[in-house]
Amino acid sequence: MLTLTYIQDMSSSPAENIALEECLRAIVAESLARDESATEFPAAFFTTYSNTPCVVLGRNQDAAVELSQATLKSGTPRAFRRTTGGGAVYHDSGNLNWSFVVPGTLADRAGLLQLILGALATAGVQAAVGGRGEITVAGRKVGGTASAAGKGVLLFHGTLLVDTDLVALRESLAAHEKDYKPGSVRSVPATVTNLVNLVPKMTVKSLAATLTSHLAGTSSVAWNSLINEQQVAAMTNELSSDAWIFKRSAQFSREPSMTRKPELAEMKGTT
């Protein structure tokens, strides 16, 4: 059975959180390579965080196509690009991001998503999985998912709209405009709702606590006890660059240096 460790103290910086997820992927890959005898369980992580207002593009999307004209002209909210696939999404402090970094393949996403649905049920939300892996309640989307897998490691993460500014969401994304012409990776607009409309007392903090308790129990560790802080800062700078966000094409003749194996801090254990 998968034993998850919760990663504490994630950032509100979108680029830093992407960098941290990449470093966690490296830790899981190293643990798999180190213990081929299977005398101990490999590393497996779960975390939650909320970003400052932004649009996060899928790995293979074109910013000029996916950002609304208003966002392109003003630069607000700021755009970022994640390392996983899928469509563009809007984040703000009312949105809860969750993330699994575990040994596995893309085939394991369904089981992990059922864990999220189980945690939502304990919070009073009876959710289902849509046709594109989105999380729905009564036909309305309350969250999306994205993933990447390789070297035996699965990064599977998603969003949950708790109390997000839905007007800002629609105004930031080109997919909600009438003349949207998608590029090679389409963003799919959907009818969305906030979970607070279903459970009025729910907050991002309370839902994060529910997910953490349901999935990781009391096993937790601060990220900077596992990962080199200086390299996270360097990776964050690269993930914040125009070269990564705006100049990366669907063909990707070049991989950014941030994908190199990160230096890891000495592991200090979990609590």
Task: List pLDDT tens digits, range 56-74.
Answer: 999 999 999 999 999 999 9
Write down the pLDDT at residue 76: 96
Write down the pLDDT at residue 177: 86
Which residues does the chain have with pLDDT short of 50?
39, 249-271
Write down the pLDDT at residue 178: 84
Write down the pLDDT at residue 188: 79
Write down the pLDDT at residue 181: 82
Q: Which fold has domain 5-244?
A: BirA Bifunctional Protein; domain 2 (3.30.930)
Give the Cα separation of 211 and 202 in Å (integer). Answer: 13
Write down the pLDDT at residue 160: 98
